[in-house]
Amino acid sequence: MEPKVVYETDRLVVRDWAAADGDRVFDIYRRWEVARWLGADPKVMADRDSANRVIDRWNQQNQNPPYGIWAVYERATETVAGTVLLVPLPEPSDGTAAQGEVEVGWHFHPDAWGRGLATEAARGAIRHGFTAGLSQIYAVVRPDNVASLAVCRRLGMRSLGRTSRWYDAELESFLI
């Protein structure tokens, strides 16, 4: 069965994950240069079986539109370049009440860096969210993640400054 296509851009097909994507998922998330930016306590993916489990978990989350954690398939290279996500932000860690905030995010293999793919995929995810009725979308980025900060600017997101509201970490927050 072919994975469900969520949206397409000029160069990309954003879709659910396929079992055949497991090697690429492992290759992306086993790398410290990718994993160092993810989560409150960054860790690399430990083994190939972890990739299968995460694909299953992501595809379960993709059953709740407009939210999802999707594969970004690049037509030109015929490979998964990375991940784009549109997900509810977690309960705030600063003790304030949750406001139903939604996050756009991206994680790409280093061989896909520097070609505008993250910006293109995230722009599509934002459009997907707005079309589904979302009125605003956040991005949260580690302060020293220069590349992702640049993606936020290219997306036209407004900087809200640093916050510790989510993920038990001080992050730069953006809104569109």
Which residues of the chain are under the pLDDT cut of 70?
97
Predicted TM-score of the model (pTM):
0.94
All domains of the chain, ordered by start, with CATH?
Answer: 5-175 (3.40.630.30)
The interaxial angle of helices 48-61 and 22-29, nearest 10 deg, is 100
Instruction: Say what the pLDDT of residue 135 is.
Output: 96
Instruction: Say what the pLDDT of residue 85 is.
Output: 98
Sign of the dihedral through C-alpha 77, 82, 84, 85 = positive
Instruction: Say what the pLDDT of residue 91 is.
Output: 83
Instruction: Say what the pLDDT of residue 92 is.
Output: 82
Rounded Cα distance between 28 and 74, Å, is 15
